[in-house]
Amino acid sequence: MAELATQSPVQLMALQLLLWHSALWTGQEAVPLSPASALPIPRSFLLKSLEQVRKIQAEGTELLEALVSEEGCLSQLHSGLVLYQSLLQALAGISAEVSPALDMLQLDVTNFAITIWQQMEDLGVAPEVKPIQGTMPAFTSAFQRRAGGVLVISNLQNFLELAYRVLRYLTKP
């Protein structure tokens, strides 16, 4: 276990992906391909197996709910919003025609980040130190600001679509 702690985040991610792939590949091979109705399988065995499958499914659902906890989702959502606050600030001066829309978008993202932070505080899961904005990219030309704007806004849209799906999932009973 100590060896894992000394690995770089990229190496740990690669190892994690390899393990997931191995687990999924093995799982695909384990799926029965055809019904085995011709085999004389005792009914008691089948009933016990069904009970075990239900138990494992329930445990998997419980684990999934723990992994997609409200607190963890809110923390990741807040971190993403803080990142996009920085990126949107870097786009200041992109052009006079889009400046009002950019200002409104920055305000909305900031307000959303504040709302998420306040909810984390209410739940008692907010870190003691509020995250600060990271280093902003420097767009030195009008072209870089426009191209950066397209990338930032596009990625922000994708982030918000994912955030919307996660928040909808959390609202389900």
What pLDDT, in 10s, does the model give residues 130-151? 777 667 778 888 888 888 889 9
Summarised one tens digit per residue, pLDDT across range 102-134 is 999 999 999 999 999 998 888 888 887 777 766
Q: Which residue has the higher pLDDT, 126 or 85?
A: 85
Quote the CA–CA distance of 170 and 147 in Å, as a whole number: 35
Q: Is the dihedral of CA 33, 37, 38, 39 positive or negative?
A: positive
71-171: CATH topology: Growth Hormone; Chain: A; (1.20.1250)
* 71 — pLDDT class (breaks 50, 70, 90): confident
CA–CA distance, 60 with 131 (Å, rounded to integer): 33
Mean pLDDT across the chain, nearest whole number? 76
* pLDDT at residue 39, rounded to an integer: 63
The predicted-structure confidence for 33-56, as pLDDT tens digits, reads as follows 455 555 677 888 888 888 888 888
Q: Which of 81, 136, 90 is nearest to 113 (CA)?
A: 81
Q: Is the pLDDT of residue 17 over 60?
A: no
Percent of the chain with pLDDT over 90: 14
Q: Where are the domains of the chain?
A: 71-171
